Structure 1
Amino acid sequence: MGSWARRRPLKDVPEESPSAPVLSEAPHLSPGARITAEDEENPRVQQYSGELSPKSGLRRLSKPETEEKPLHDLQYAAPYSVVYPPNAADFATPPVPAQNFSAPPPGTPGAAPLPSDAALYRQRSAAGRQKSRRCGFFWVIPLIVVACVTLFIITMYENDCPHQSPHVSCIATWLGRLAFQPWSENPLLGPAADTLLRMGGLQSSAIRHGGGWRLLSCMWLHGGVFHLLVNMLGLLVVGVRLEKDFGAVRLIVLYFLSGVGGSLMSALFLTNVISVGASGALFGLLGATLADLLTNWTIYTSKVASLLSLLILIAVNLAFGLTPQVDNFCHLGGLATGFLLGFVLFVKPQFSWLYRDYAAEPALPYMHVDPPKMRKHKTYQYVLQVVAALVFLALFTAAFIAVFTGVDANKECSWCHYLSCVKTPLWNCDGVGGKQVTCDVTTYTNGTGTVGCADGRQTWVPNFPTQTQAQLQSICVRECS
């Protein structure tokens, strides 16, 4: 309510006004005389008292005698809001800013509902990633998919089945140079093994002879249409969520290091096999997702169900890798690399730190309570981060040295070949895990040749003089195992 009255002569006060108090007539009052202003029709205007100044004006009026309200009847007001008195237009006073009372703690009647965990984490993230998540924008995974599909088309063009293998029945010859190799040679609808090797496929002997770049190039190649579709679908399902949650930079680091980790393990155990595919990097994303769930346990809901679902998914994919023609060592290497990097790269703030703005505060403005100190990360998160980083650096360095020095890991681990292939009545595992496959090579004067297996099967090889020793070994392993 207003506590100051404007100075003006008494003669300027209207005698009767429905919206203003009527002053009693006192034309001959001396200085110091008291007057009163009352308005019985307006209950908001209570009795005011004041003294006449020597200049026949009103001096400062005293505060109205209003009834004090108990403090517990005060309502919480949002900061920066303005509270106006009833019918403020009747008064010449400015609006009164609201007191900046503390918001009620969670659980108090009238308190705002707590936001979800995911929303809180987005609020605490970097500004760039906040904008990306709000817009739903992601680009790394789609770019990887486009690159893999493009390179597969280029590989099929270079394969040129109708001209490179004129004595075999190519599949989908109407595609011209893009026609696929026969079912008996490549059941995945793809190119020949020697084409994959020329395009950058992984082979241990090629790495030791200046082909270190194959550790990266092999993750962009695929053995067939089915192989490509499965990997790209997995990338979209797993990778998009990780990119939205952790940003493009960390996803790129995880993807490439996981792919290289899978290539290193494959080169150590599958020395005579050509390996291609993005499955090592894909398993790295699965391993990082598992590490994310474990190290950020308090952030997620339905933790146990999510953990079991993820473990079952990983187990099923690893079990599928026990069949021939599938490089399960690459899967295991990528999975281990991604799991370790997940503890390093994918650490989120803890639940209590996310809710620090909603911590209990005094309900009354005159009370003072020091807010509790909250740590952004738990101690175990820091421990896991440091330990995982050290283990990753040690294993990665050791694998690099072993691959480039020609170490055959199968000699150090006689049972490890069972991690990639298990023999059943439906297939054998020759050529896997260091097992040697014997082939007889026959050359002809017309520039062709054949590769004969121990069971009597023979495979025709075009342009035999141009075939390298590594290519002949891959043909022998592929056809006779």
Structure 2
Amino acid sequence: MDEETPADKPHAQIDIKSPPPPPPPFSFSVDNVNPEKNTEVEGKFPFFKSRYRQRASDTWLISFFVILHLLAFITTMLFNYFSLGTALFQPLSENPLLGPSASTLDKVGALRRTFLAQTNQTWRLFVCPWLHAGLIHFSINIGCMVFVGIHLERDYGPLRIGIIYLVSAFFGSLVCSLFVGNSPVVTSSAALFGLLGAMLSGLIRNWKVYTSKCAALLVLFIVFAVNFLLGLLPYIGNFANIGAFIPGLLLGFVLLFTPQIRQMSKNKMGLFEYSVKRSSNLKQKLKFGMPVLRGVSLLLFTILLVGCLIAVFRGIDINQYCEWCRFVDCLPSKRWSCNDRTNACENALSSAF
């Protein structure tokens, strides 16, 4: 019997093992951190465009504010239609924002110098922050407010964001009343600028742990610039926007000191992210924040609030001391007028109702 040559022997089979599956993605959670250990755990905490677990309880406050703004805008437009008996929107030459007439804004609660100085209608300071000058103003303002506020509420909770929102809105009305002239002005964008100021304070406060700082500042600048340029059109109080941004910034240093990190979903990142290093020292820093900065911010906010209240009750008109300030509230153009353009026909129709 012939012996098998090496060439005749069958080749040995080589088992090719598939590579092991990759480890599951790491999800950061405060509960998984042992503060007794000195090891640092890295994670990502999203800011804008965050991938949170979608829950209705995360954004109920901003949703409630949006509903109030929507009801106020619908009421204003219906009041404009039934009181004047004309089209739902006024001509672009009268209102370039696709909105109501000047007389309608006066009746629903807009700010005007004569209402504050002569008749002392201070209730307008509380109603004006919910009014919009037109459909364009409403769409841009609400869109930016949802974009900014919904993430702030998820990160810091509805209580702190609600305080910043309402206080900034009222503060904006106070500042606007110091610059308002003879045309009606609404201040619904003031709350948005207060949220922008609070968001900027959060970025400054956590500057060392943020990533993509340039992207964060760019987004804030774009939202600020778009709404500020929109405020150069008639019936929008740009001084209310500026006046609300400063208290929003100060209140952000006071209130936004502990983000709710444990709500982050697994392996998800957003536009605004920062590396969260969890050690016992950093955890204590996030908990107690910077007492000096918080104290100084609270003191400055109190001084500004008291000063604005005194100036409003005394009926101070800053336009008498600043000739160019009126161009910040409304930039003149051939396509619209910055003065009150209520004509005689409109007055007759308004008085009839």
TM beyond 0.5: yes
5+ residue gaps, structure 1: 1-101, 107-113, 122-131, 172-178, 358-371, 432-436, 442-449, 452-458, 468-481
- 1:368-379 aligned within 5 A: 375-377=284-286
Query: Is the CA contact 1:165–1:462 (under 8 Å) kept in the aligned structure 2?
Result: no
Could you tell me how far apart the structure 2 residues matched to 1:249 and 1:197 are?
32
Q: d(CA) in 1 for partners of 2:129 and 2:282? A: 47
Q: 1:392 to 1:428 in 2, by over 3 A?
A: same
Q: Deviation string for 1:226-270 (max 9, x for gaps)?
A: 221111111110000000011101111111111111111111011
With CA pairs under 8 Å and 6+ residues apart, which has the higher RCO, 1 or 2?
2
Q: Match of 1:276?
A: 186
The TM-score, its normalising length taken from structure 1, stands at: 0.55
The correspondence for 1:394, drawn from 303, 307, 310, is 303
The answer to whether the 8 A contact 1:180-1:189 is kept is: yes
> Taking structure 1 as reference, are residues 225 and 250 closer, same or farther at Cα in structure 2, changes over 3 Å only?
same
Aligned letter for 1:203? R
CA gap of 1:244–1:399, structure 2 versus 1, over 3 A, is: same
- Alignment gaps of 5+ in structure 2: 1-35, 262-273
Deviation, structure 1 residue 273: 2.3
Corresponding residue number in structure 2 for 1:150: 71
Kindly provide the CA deviation profile for residues 367-424 of structure 1, in whole angstroms up to 9, marking residues without a partner as x: xxxxx79742599832221111111111111111111211011223344334334456
2:347 aligned to 435, 458, 461, which one? 461
Check the 8 A contact 1:259/1:284 in 2, yes or no. Answer: yes
152, 165, 184: which one aligns with 2:84: 165
Pick from 245, 250, 264: which aligns with 1:340?
250
Q: Is the 1:188–1:223 contact (alpha carbons within 8 Å) kept by the matching residues of 2?
A: yes
Q: Which of 411, 416, 435 is residue 320 of structure 2 equivalent to?
A: 411
Q: Aligned match of 1:301 in 201, 211, 216?
A: 211
Alpha-carbon distance between aligned partners in 1 of 2:164 and 2:136, rounded to the nearest angstrom: 25
Query: Aligned partners of 2:38 and 2:239: how far apart in 1?
Result: 56
**Structure 1 residues 226, 312: closer, same or farther in 2, change over 3 A?**
closer
Q: What's 2:43 paired with?
A: 116
Q: Aligned equivalents of 1:103 and 1:386: distance in 2?
A: 32
Matches within 5 A, 1:41-52: none
Q: 2:98·2:134 contact (CA, 8 Å) conserved in 1?
A: yes
**Aligned pair partner of 1:327 in 218, 225, 237:** 237
AA of the residue aligned to 1:206:
F
SS in 2 for 1:376: helix
State the alpha-carbon separation in 1 of the partners of residues 323 and 126 from structure 2.
Answer: 28
Distance 1:152 1:395, change over 3 A: same
When the two chains are superposed, the root-mean-square deviation of aligned CA atoms in Å is 3.5
SS of the equivalent of 1:314 reads: helix
Q: Identity of counterpart residues, as a percentage?
A: 37
Give the drift of 1:218.
0.8
CA shift for structure 1 position 294: 0.5
1:353–1:376: 8 Å Cα contact kept in structure 2? no
Q: 3-state DSSP class of the match of 1:329? A: helix
Greater Rg by CA = 1
1:48 aligns to what?
A: none
SS at match of 2:257: coil
What secondary structure sits across from 1:180 in the alignment? coil
Deviation at 1:187, TM superposition (A): 3.2
